[in-house]
Structure 1
Amino acid sequence: MSKLTIVANIKAKADKIDLVRAELQGLIETTRAEAGCMQYDLHQDNEDPAHFMFYENWESRERWQKHMGSQHLQDYIAATEGAVEEFTVNEMTVIA
Structure 2
Amino acid sequence: MGEVKVAAPIVAKPEHHEASGKATRAMLKSSRSEPGCIQYDLHEEQGNPGHFVFLERWKSAQALEEHMAMTWHNNFLAESGGKLEKLEVKKLIDIKE
Instruction: Name the TM-score class by shorter chain.
Output: over 0.9
Corresponding pairs, count: 96
Give distance in 1, aligned partners of 2:76 and 2:48: 22
Give distance in 2, aligned partners of 1:93 and 1:70: 24
Q: Which runs of 5+ in 1 are unaligned?
A: none
Residues 73-84 of structure 1: pairs in structure 2 closer than 5 A: 73-84=73-84
Residues 79-90 of structure 1: pairs in structure 2 closer than 5 A: 79-90=79-90
The DSSP-based 3-state class of the residue aligned with 1:57 is strand
Counterpart in the other structure of 2:56: 56
Counterpart in the other structure of 1:94: 94
CA drift of 1:21 comes to 0.4
- The C-alpha deviation readout for 1:56-75, integer Å capped at 9, x for no partner, is 00001110011011100111
- The C-alpha deviation readout for 1:28-67, integer Å capped at 9, x for no partner, is 0000000110000000000211210000000011100110
Amino acid at match of 2:35: A
The DSSP-based 3-state class of the residue aligned with 1:22 is helix
Give distance in 2, aligned partners of 1:2 and 1:95: 15
Residues 1-80 of structure 1: pairs in structure 2 closer than 5 A: 1-80=1-80
Name the TM-score, length of structure 2 as normaliser: 0.94
Q: Which runs of 5+ in 2 are unaligned?
A: none
- C-alpha root-mean-square deviation of aligned residues, in Å? 1.0
Give distance in 2, aligned partners of 1:12 and 1:75: 16
